[in-house]
Every structure is written in structure tokens, then in C-alpha cells.
Homo-oligomer: A and B are copies of this chain.
Amino acid sequence: MKLNIYLSGEIHTNWRENIMQGCEAEKLDVSFSAPVTDHGASDDCGVAILGAEDKKFWHDNKGAKMNAIRTRKGIEDADVVVVRFGEKYKQWNAAFDAGYAAALGKSIIVIHSDDHQHALKEVDAAALAVCESASQVVDVFKYVLTSQLPS
């Protein structure tokens, strides 16, 4: 069994690298995809390629649609969608991805601190695992793929 994993959500810490390195260290049969995590490029891609806009709304609209080409491909090809909610920002795109994945019947793993527990109860209720750290996510994949629990 091999798992295709999409890493959605917060882009300001290195949690994706932690999961990827942890899985590599365990030699797990996984492949990863993720959104563009360069915040500036992600915000400006639409106008940079397709032409400038006077209004912020359309500036953002062109960018969000271009990013959707990658995001939807990533989610639709995934067996598991991991969504991390960080400490800052509204992060509505993370919750949107979680809802999108849930409607497609994907297995969902959520990562968040205890502070966000009540506000994320609907997202957590759609998840198969709720974690607090990237290392727990690695442990989940190790168990799912090898039957081995952390020692």
C-alpha cells in the first residue's frame, strides 16, 4: 500500500518538511503534494501571468483560481488530506480544503493546537485523526502503512 498525501493549510512554519522528513526517515511508501507555499507568489500569480488588475478583488480572484488548478489536483489525487491550522490568520482556505476533501470522501487528518479546539469542532468531526504535532502525523502514516506503533 502506498499513500498519496496532500498537505493543506498553514504556510508559515516548516510542518510540511517535518512530515516529509519524518516519513522519509521511516522509509514509508508515500508521496506528497501541497499548495504553493511562497506567500507572495501565491498572492500575485494571477496578475503576474495574466495581466494587472486595478481592483484588489480581481487581483485576488485571478490568483485564487490559478492556485485552484494545483489545489484541486492535489486533493483529488490524494488518499489522505492533512490540514494544519496555525496560530494566526483566518485560514478559511484551509477549512475550505477540508470541506472539499470531506465531500470527496477523502481520509482527513487535522493538526491544530488545543486553543482552536472548539472553533474547529466541525472540521475535527469530519477527520479520522486529530493531531497536535507533525510527528504524530508521521506516526499515523507509519502505523497505517506498517502496523507498527511508536516505541
- Mark A residues whose CB is within 8 Å of B: 1, 3, 33, 36-38, 41-42, 44-46, 48-50, 54-58, 60-74, 77, 79-80, 85, 89-105, 107, 109, 116-131, 136, 139-140, 143-145, 147-150
Main secondary structure of the interface of A (DSSP, over half): helix
Give the complex CA separation of A53 and B148 in angstroms: 20
What's the Cα separation between A85 and B91 when bound, in Å? Answer: 13
Residues of B within 8 A of A131 (CB): 50
> Would B89 and A119 count as touching, CB distance under 8 A?
yes
Whole-angstrom CA separation of A31 from B42 in the bound complex: 24
Number of chain copies forming the complex: 8
Do B36 and A122 touch across chains, with their CB atoms under 8 A apart?
no
Contact partner, A64, options B57, B58, B122, Cβ 8 Å: B122
Measured in the bound complex, the distance between the Cα atoms of B27 and A11 in whole Å is 26
Question: Which B residues are CB-close (under 8 A) to A117?
Answer: 56-57, 60
Task: Name which residue of chain B comes closest to A143, CB basis.
Answer: B45
A95: contacting residue among B74, B79, B93, CB under 8 A: B93
Q: Nearest-CB distance from A41 to chain B (Å)? A: 5
The complex places the Cα of A56 from the Cα of B102 at a distance, in Å, of: 23
B128 with A69: CB separation less than 8 A: yes
* A115 CB to nearest B CB, Å: 11
Among A57, A62, A109, A126, residue most surrounded by chain B Cβ atoms (within 10 Å):
A57
